[in-house]
């Protein structure tokens, strides 16, 4: 669908939702980021004594009760946690955007893409234990549906009557930004008027932790969890696993204005590339990530000097932080030293498939408030490995923001970069 003058439609953000270890809604999550809140602690959801990594950023006080309008208690009890987080964050975002689907005809133009890195891992783990201990006849009939990566998308569509395009996107830790970018493309080509762009993850099981800690990419700073996530710091030793969901309501500008929506920000550029190099290690110099950033800039029609802030992937792993820094320099040249760069994961931990959508929520809040959060625990920048940019180690900073970039990179060599613009309409 084109606008009346033949141009592609502009795409705006009109609602936000979040369920994270920092808070069970957007505002508490955002205030936690600004305050440098430390939520990483000893894992409580299972006994992690024998694990190399015994810490994480858990959600410990989530109650689905406020969202039972959208999913009955019976349905909630048999749903995987990643699905419940998704429904809750979507309900918040829909309310924030003042959207409630009144008819099937309306729902025919509303869709969703919900990403996850893993899917229903709790269901997979619990059902496998049941199979081993009690046999195949005792495995729940809901296992097959709950374990699927697409089921958060499916359940969100059912709960909110979103009848347009709907599917799951899985690209490891790049998933959330890919979701936003693909919703942007769906809306621009006219397949929907409004899209829910969401990410969700619930990885805290013994199997999930064992798998990730065997990659040696996770921190082992078990004796000091509050300082474990330390992107770009010379003493970083790996990422902190986290969980939760974050959602953006995206729609065409014409649709948003026609219904009198409050517009929060505009999405103006999206870049997506693949390293084609290694299953877990980026190429030296971050070449693939740099191409994604350059592509996003080109599609947005921007010069590198126009980007006011970069929300980094910033995982706190030795290799990622080094190569992401190199990629930013490759994409921006000398301008890179003038752009503030900070990592949401220094506080939230790594939400895997939901990381990109959470960081996009933070970016939109930054544009609204003209304020960026800092990078927690950055005490000694890793200058020896080239980590010498402005990582906002001094905490939140008030600066003029018009154009902001958010980056996500994932195992498999997946790269995504999204550019948001301050709404000035």
pLDDT of residue 279: 87
The pTM for the full model equals: 0.96
Predicted confidence (pLDDT) per residue in 177-206, tens digit? 999 999 999 999 999 999 999 999 999 999
Query: 5: how many CB neighbours lie within 10 A of its CB?
Result: 5
pLDDT of residue 3: 59
User: Using N-to-C axis directions, what is the helix angle for 355-369 and 26-35, rounded to 10°?
Assistant: 80
Active site includes 173? Answer: yes
214-223, 304-313, 362-371, range with the lowest pLDDT: 214-223
Active site includes 387? Answer: no
User: Are the C-beta atoms of residues 262 and 273 closer than 8 Å to each other?
Assistant: no
pLDDT of residue 156: 97
Q: Would you state the structure tokens that stand for residue 195, as one six-digit string?
A: 């899209």
High-pLDDT (> 90) share of the chain, %: 93
- Do strands 403-410 and 309-311 pair parallel, antiparallel, or not at all (unpaired)? parallel
pLDDT at 5 over 90: no
All structural domains of the chain with their residue ranges: 12-258, 269-422
pLDDT of residue 391: 98
Q: Check if 12-258 and 269-422 are the same fold.
A: yes
Expressed in angstroms, the distance from the first to the final Cα of the chain is: 22
Active site includes 313? Answer: yes
Average pLDDT score over residue span 380-387 = 97
pLDDT at 397 over 90: yes
- Do strands 166-169 and 403-410 pair parallel, antiparallel, or not at all (unpaired)? unpaired
Domain 12-258 CATH class label: alpha beta
Q: Would you state the structure tokens that stand for residue 35, as one six-digit string?
A: 């305050």
Q: Would you state the structure tokens that stand for residue 135, as one six-digit string?
A: 């046999």
Return d(Cα 396, Cα 374) in angstroms, integer.
5
pLDDT at 7 over 90: no
High-pLDDT (> 70) share of the chain, %: 99
pLDDT of residue 270: 98
Q: Where residue 351 falls among pLDDT bands split at 50, 70, 90?
A: very high
CA distances to 89, 173, 366 from 247, rounded to whole Å, are 6, 16, 16
Of 201, 208, 247, whose CA–CA distance to 81 is shortest? 201
Predicted confidence (pLDDT) per residue in 56-82, tens digit? 999 999 999 999 999 999 999 999 999
Of 79, 97, 292, 96, whose CA–CA distance to 177 is shortest? 292
Q: Indicate the helix (H) or strand (E) that contains 119.
A: none
The alpha carbon dihedral of 215, 124, 20, 92 has a sign of positive
Predicted confidence (pLDDT) per residue in 263-284, tens digit? 999 999 999 999 889 987 888 8
- Do strands 194-201 and 244-252 pair parallel, antiparallel, or not at all (unpaired)? antiparallel
6: left (phi over 0), alpha (psi -120 to 50) or beta: left
User: Are the C-beta atoms of residues 335 and 27 closer than 8 Å to each other?
Assistant: no
Average pLDDT score over residue span 40-52 = 96
Burial of 210 (0-12, 13-18, 19+ CB in 10 A): middle
Catalytic residue among 96, 213, 313, 414: 313
Predicted confidence (pLDDT) per residue in 411-425, tens digit? 888 999 999 999 997
Q: Locate all alpha helices (DSSP H) within 135-203, ordered by sequence.
A: 143-146, 151-160, 175-188
Q: Would you state the structure tokens that stand for residue 255, as one six-digit string?
A: 């649709």
Average predicted confidence (pLDDT) for the chain: 96
pLDDT of residue 1: 52
Question: Helix, strand, coil: what percent of the chain each, to 5?
Answer: 40, 20, 40
Cα-Cα-Cα-Cα torsion 198, 327, 296, 191, nearest 10 degrees, comes to -30
Residue with tokens 């992401």: 324
- Do strands 11-19 and 244-252 pair parallel, antiparallel, or not at all (unpaired)? antiparallel
Predicted confidence (pLDDT) per residue in 303-348, tens digit? 999 999 999 999 999 999 999 999 999 999 999 999 999 999 999 9
More confident of the two residues 216 and 353: 353
Superfamily assignment of 269-422 in CATH?
Thiolase/Chalcone synthase (3.40.47.10)
Q: What's 412's DSSP letter?
A: T
Catalytic residue among 96, 255, 350, 414: 350
pLDDT at 88 over 90: yes
Average pLDDT score over residue span 373-389 = 97
């Amino acid at each position: 669908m084109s606008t009346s003058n033949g141009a592609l439609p502009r795409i705006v953000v009109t609602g936000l939702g979040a369920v994270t270890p920092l808070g069970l809604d957007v505002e508490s999550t955002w205030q936690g980021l600004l305050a440098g809140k430390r939520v990483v602690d000893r894992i409580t959801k299972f006994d992690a004594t024998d694990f190399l990594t015994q810490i994480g950023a858990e959600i410990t006080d989530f109650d689905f009760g406020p969202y039972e309008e959208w999913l009955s208690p019976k349905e909630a009890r048999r749903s995987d946690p990643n699905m419940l987080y998704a429904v809750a964050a979507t309900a918040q975002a829909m309310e924030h955007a003042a959207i409630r689907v009144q008819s099937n005809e309306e729902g025919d133009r509303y869709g969703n893409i919900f990403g996850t890195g893993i899917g229903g891992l709790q269901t997979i783990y619990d059902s496998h234990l049941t199979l081993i201990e009690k046999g195949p006849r005792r495995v729940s009939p809901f296992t097959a549906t709950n374990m699927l990566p697409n089921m958060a998308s499916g359940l969100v569509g059912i709960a909110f009557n979103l009848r347009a395009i709907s599917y799951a996107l899985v690209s490891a830790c790049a998933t959330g930004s890919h979701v936003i970018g693909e919703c942007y493309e769906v809306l621009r080509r006219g397949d929907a008027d409004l899209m829910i762009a969401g990410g969700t993850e619930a990885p805290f099981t013994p199997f999930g932790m064992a798998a990730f800690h065997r990659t040696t990419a996770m921190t082992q700073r078990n004796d000091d969890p509050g300082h474990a996530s330390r992107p770009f710091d010379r003493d970083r030793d790996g990422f902190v696993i986290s969980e939760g969901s974050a959602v953006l309501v995206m729609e065409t500008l014409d649709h948003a204005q026609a219904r009198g929506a409050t517009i929060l920000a505009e999405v103006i550029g999206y870049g997506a590339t693949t390293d084609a190099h290694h299953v877990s290690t980026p190429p030296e110099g971050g070449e693939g990530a740099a191409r994604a950033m350059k592509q996003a800039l080109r599609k947005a029609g921007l010069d590198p000097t126009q980007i006011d802030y970069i929300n980094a992937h910033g995982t706190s792993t030795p290799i990622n932080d080094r190569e992401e820094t190199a990629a930013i320099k490759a994409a921006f040249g000398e301008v890179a030293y003038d752009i503030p760069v900070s990592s949401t994961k220094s506080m939230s931990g790594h939400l895997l498939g939901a990381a990109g959508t959470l960081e996009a929520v933070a970016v939109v809040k930054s544009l609204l408030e003209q304020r960026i959060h800092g990078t927690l625990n950055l005490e000694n920048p890793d200058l020896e490995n080239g980590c010498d940019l402005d990582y906002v180690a001094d905490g939140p900073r008030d600066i003029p923001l018009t154009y902001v970039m958010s980056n996500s990179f994932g195992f498999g060599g997946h790269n995504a970069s999204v550019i948001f613009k301050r709404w000035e309409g």
